[in-house]
Amino acid sequence: MVGAPSADPNGSYSGSSYVVFGGDFTGAVTALGTAAADKLKGSKAVDRIVAGDGDDTLIGRGGADVFHGGGGDDVIEIRDVDFQLADGGAGTDTLKLDRSHLDLNLADERGRISDIEAVDMTGQGHNTLTLTALDVLNLSSTSNTLQVDGNHNDRVVGLDSGWSDGGIADGYHTFTNGEAVLLVGVQVTTDFA
C-alpha cells in the first residue's frame, strides 16, 4: 500500500492511498508456488524457482538455478553442484542430491546454501558430503543440527577434528563438535570415528 497525503481525489488535499499488487513483473521467476504443497520443476535452462507456504518440492534440472523455499518443510532437488542459490526458507528443509557421483562440499558452498536442516543422498550410485562443524552451525538460521540420509555407497567426510561420537539411536549415528550436531543415517559411511 502506498500513501499519497497530498493527493486531491476528493478536493483540497484530502489524501489517498493506493494498493499495488505484487507479482513477477520482470519474468525472472520461472516457477512460482502457491500456499498449497506444490511440485515446481525447472527446465534445462537457468531457472528461478520460488515456493509458497506449503510443503513444496523444488526440482532443478542442473545448472545455475536459484531456489527459494518459502514457509513449510520444502525439498530442493539438485542434479549437480552448479546451482547459484539454495535457500530453504522457514521450516525444516532438505537439500536432496538427485544424481549419483556428486561431491557437495559445504565449505565451497558457503553463501550459496542457507536454511537447510537436512541433506538427502539416497538413490542410486554414491555421493559425498564434505563439511566442518562451522558449516553445520551456519547452514540453518534456526538449528545447529544437520540430519544426513543416504545409502551404503554414500559418505560424509569431515574436514576438521574435534567430533565426538554420541552413538546410534533411532537409525542415526550422532556426532557433536561444540554446538554442532550431526545426525548421520546408519547406512552412510563417515570418517569421524
Q: What is the C-alpha to C-alpha distance for residues 176 and 168, in angstroms, rounded to an integer?
A: 12
Say how far residue 148 (Cα) sits from the centre of its chain: 13
Asked whether the beta carbons of 133 and 180 are under 8 A apart, the reply is yes
Q: Which cell numbers hold the place of 78?
A: 539438485
Tell me phi and psi for residue 41, to 5 degrees.
-110, 140
Q: DSSP letter at 140?
A: -
- Asked if the structure places residue 143 within a domain, the reply is yes
Q: Which residue has the higher pLDDT, 185 or 193?
A: 185
Specify the amino acid at residue 152. Answer: H
- Asked if the structure places residue 115 within a domain, the reply is yes
- Asked if the structure places residue 77 within a domain, the reply is yes
Helices (H) and strands (E) in the chain, counts: 1, 20
Asked whether the beta carbons of 104 and 156 are under 8 A apart, the reply is no
Domain residue limits at 128: 72-190
Q: DSSP letter at 171?
A: T
Q: What is the C-alpha to C-alpha distance for residues 11 and 21, in angstroms, rounded to an integer?
A: 26
**Residue 192's pLDDT band (boundaries 50, 70, 90)?**
confident
- Number of structural domains found in the chain: 1
- Asked if the structure places residue 41 within a domain, the reply is no
**Residue 115's pLDDT band (boundaries 50, 70, 90)?**
very high
- Encode pLDDT of 31-70 as tens digits: 999 999 999 999 999 999 999 999 999 999 999 999 999 9
